Chain A
Amino acid sequence: MSYRILIVDDSPGMRAVLRRVIDLSGVPVAACLTACHGLAALALLRNEPVDLVLTDINMPEMNGEELVAELKKDPALSEIPVLVISTDATSNRMQRMLELGAAGYVIKPFQPETLRSEVERVLGGVHAAG
């Protein structure tokens, strides 16, 4: 099975890094889509099938916290797993994101191996469910 992954980050540099880590991870990827904020991500998700969303938190228009909340209240999108990737390592934020329904939380800066294993763990759940 190959996966369709959506990267949501307002930093072009960070989007490029995430894409490279995924490309080198060995995870079979059918498509790697990108969006620069939560609103653009939502619009894309309503038109494109996606197996995993990787999202930053601090973004213009709609932040990552709002994006996860919107996804979880939309029955058509609520099952898509979301992996949060953020510099915010505070316990309040991590707890809040996980309570909202995020499948995992990776703190920046991260080792490529850390991100890869989290992506594999979450996609493993998708694979098992499918």
Chain B
Amino acid sequence: MLPADVDRALTKCTGRVLETMCYSDPLPITGIEEGLAFLHAELHFHGTYSGVFHLDITEEAGRGLASTFLGSDDADVPEEQLGSVICELTNMICGSMLSTLDANADIHLDAPRLVPEDAPRSGEVLSRAFEIDNGQMAVAIRFS
């Protein structure tokens, strides 16, 4: 699998998921701004390919996406629902990406989970950052 293919899939699948489920149009940027506080989710996958997928998003942007995702008029989404939506978006982007990279693969996704900001990440990671409404987000994947 070529890094360029993975890079394209990261961008394409993030856009597709956010546009379809949250009516948001993520704009690719060179990297996330330093000093911002992010919510972090990770998902381990197994099968034809194994590794871990990460999603980082600024809290206000996450709340905006969660509110649209849930069809709520209230931007003040409860903490538990915010976490659930961030995890579901992680699940959708990762699943969509792996299916896009190899339509004949055998894919098993663990349950996504929120992790602390200082959770360690090891190995070579391919990542993409985006500007979205009210903040920024980044997605990253590491194959093991």
Contacts and interface: CB of A to CB of B under 8 A. Distances in A.
Interface of A: 10-14, 16-17, 20, 58-60, 86-93, 107-111
B104 A90 contact: yes
| B contact residues, range | 20 to 34
Interface of B: 16-17, 20-21, 66, 69-71, 80-81, 84-85, 87-88, 91-92, 94-96, 98-100, 102-111
B102 A20 contact: no
A13 B88 contact: yes
Interface of A is mostly: loop
Contacts of A92: 104-106
Give 3 closest A-B pairs by Cβ, nearest first. Answer: A87-B95, A89-B99, A109-B20
A92 to B, nearest CB: 6
A39 to B, nearest CB: 15
A13 B20 contact: no
A20 B71 contact: yes
A20 B70 contact: yes
A122 B107 CA distance: 27
B107 to A, nearest CB: 5
